[in-house]
Structure 1
Amino acid sequence: MFKNLKIVLFSLITIMLLVACGDDHNSSANGNQNNDEQEIKPEFEEEVQDFSFTNQDDETVSLDDLKGEYWVADLIFTNCETVCPPMTANMAKLQQMLDEEGIDIRLVSFSVDPQNDDPETLKAFGDKHGADYSNWDFLTGYSQEDIESFASKSFKALVSKVDGDDQVTHDTSFMLVSPEGDMINRFKGTSFEEMESIVEYLKHYKK
Structure 2
Amino acid sequence: MRFISLSALISLVLLLSACGSSAIDDFSYTDQRGEPVALEDLKGTPWLATFVFTNCNTVCPPMTFNLSGIQEELEADGLSDYKIVAFSVDPIVDTPETLQNYLAQFSVPDDSKWHLLTGYTQDEIAEFAKDNFKSFVRNDPESDQVIHGTNFYLVDQEGVVVNNYDGYDSVPVEDIKNDLRGLIEEY
Q: TM-score range by the shorter chain?
A: 0.7 to 0.9
Aligned partner of 1:124 in structure 2 is 101
Kept after mapping to 1: 8 A contact 2:87/2:117: yes
Instruction: Tell me how many residue pairs correspond in the alignment.
Output: 166
Aligned partner of 2:22 in structure 1 is 46
How many angstroms apart in 2 are the aligned matches of 1:162 and 1:191? 21
Aligned partner of 2:91 in structure 1 is 114
Aligned partner of 2:158 in structure 1 is 180
Kept after mapping to 1: 8 A contact 2:29/2:118: yes
TM-score normalised by structure 1 residue count: 0.76
How many angstroms apart in 1 are the aligned matches of 2:170 and 2:177? 12
Partner SS for 1:206:
helix
Identity across aligned pairs (percent)?
42
How many angstroms apart in 2 are the aligned matches of 1:130 and 1:183? 27
Deviation of residue 145 (structure 1)?
0.7
**1:11-57 CA distance string (max 9 Å, x none):** xxxxxxxxxxxxxxxxxxxxxxxxxxxxxxx9x61321111000111
Deviation of residue 196 (structure 1)?
2.1
TM-score normalised by structure 2 residue count: 0.83
How many angstroms apart in 2 are the aligned matches of 1:146 and 1:177? 20
Kept after mapping to 1: 8 A contact 2:165/2:171: no
Aligned partner of 1:138 in structure 2 is 116
Q: Relative to 1, partners in 2 of residues 1:138 and 1:154: Cα closer, same or farther, differing over 3 Å?
A: same
Partner SS for 1:61:
strand
Kept after mapping to 2: 8 A contact 1:46/1:155: no
How many angstroms apart in 1 are the aligned matches of 2:169 and 2:176? 11
> Structure 2: which 5+ residue stretches go unaligned?
1-17
Q: Does 1:206 align with 2:180?
A: no
Partner SS for 1:130:
coil
Deviation of residue 59 (structure 1)?
0.4
Q: Which has the higher helix share?
A: 1
Q: Does 1:70 align with 2:46?
A: yes
Kept after mapping to 2: 8 A contact 1:90/1:192: no
Partner SS for 1:134:
helix
**What value does the CA root-mean-square deviation take over the aligned residues?**
1.8
The AA in structure 1 aligned to 2:90 is D
How many angstroms apart in 1 are the aligned matches of 2:141 and 2:91? 14
Q: Rg: which structure is higher?
A: 1
Aligned 1:1-207 pairs, distance under 5 A? 45-103=21-79, 104-131=81-108, 132-162=110-140, 165-191=143-169, 193-207=171-185
